[in-house]
C-alpha cells in the first residue's frame, strides 16, 4: 500500500498522524496535535475540521480564498501553556505560496492561542510575530 505523508510532517504517515482527527475517530488533547491537524486541514481544504476546532466566537464564516494558497510546510517552534488561565500556546512558522501575489513564497510566523470550549481544546486566536 502506498504511504501518504502527513501534510504537517513529511516523515509521518497521514494515516497515523492527522487522519484520525480529520475522520472524527478521535480529538486532539494537546495543543501541538491540534495545531498540526489544523495545518493539515488547511492543506487538504477540510473546512469542516477547521470549524470544528475553532472557537465559536472567532470562527470565520468564509473560507473562500483557500484555493489561492499552496502550503509548503509547517515548523513548530515552541509549545507552552499558562495553566492558571487555561490557555495553551503554539508558536509556529507556516510557509506558503499565494497565487494572488504571483505565487510568491511567504510565511506566517504566529503564536496561536488555544482554550477549552465545551470540554474540547479549540483555536481561539493568534498573534503575528
Ligand atoms: Zn499530521
Cα of 16 vs centre of ligand 1, distance in Å, is: 8
| Residues that place a CB less than 5 A from ion ligand 1 | 6, 8, 17-18, 36, 40
Rounded to whole angstroms, the Cα distance separating 83 from 120 reads 15
User: Which cell numbers in the block locate residue 103?
Assistant: 505565487
Rounded to whole angstroms, the Cα distance separating 40 from 47 reads 11
Q: What percent of the chain has pLDDT over 90?
A: 85
The fold of the 5-128 domain, in CATH, is Nuclear Transport Factor 2; Chain: A, (3.10.450)
Q: Which pLDDT score is estimated for 91?
A: 98
Task: Provide the residue ranges of all domains of the chain, joining segments of one domain with +.
Answer: 5-128
Cα of 110 vs centre of ligand 1, distance in Å, is: 18
pLDDT tens profile 34-90 = 999 999 999 999 999 999 999 999 999 988 778 889 999 999 999 999 989 999 999
Instruction: Compute φ and ψ for 48, nearest 5 degrees.
Output: -60, -40
Amino acid at each position: 500500500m502506498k504511504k501518504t505523508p502527513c501534510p504537517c510532517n513529511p516523515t509521518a504517515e497521514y494515516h497515523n498522524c492527522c487522519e484520525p482527527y480529520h475522520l472524527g475517530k478521535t480529538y486532539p488533547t494537546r495543543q501541538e496535535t491540534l495545531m498540526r491537524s489544523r495545518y493539515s486541514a488547511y492543506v487538504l481544504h477540510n473546512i469542516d475540521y477547521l470549524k470544528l476546532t475553532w472557537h465559536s466566537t472567532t470562527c470565520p464564516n468564509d473560507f473562500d480564498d483557500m484555493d489561492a494558497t499552496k502550503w509548503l510546510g509547517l515548523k513548530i517552534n515552541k509549545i507552552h501553556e499558562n495553566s492558571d488561565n487555561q490557555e495553551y500556546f503554539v508558536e509556529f512558522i507556516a510557509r506558503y505560496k499565494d497565487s494572488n501575489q504571483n505565487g510568491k513564497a511567504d510565511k506566517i510566523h504566529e503564536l496561536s492561542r488555544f482554550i477549552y470550549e465545551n470540554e474540547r481544546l479549540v483555536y481561539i486566536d493568534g498573534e503575528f510575530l
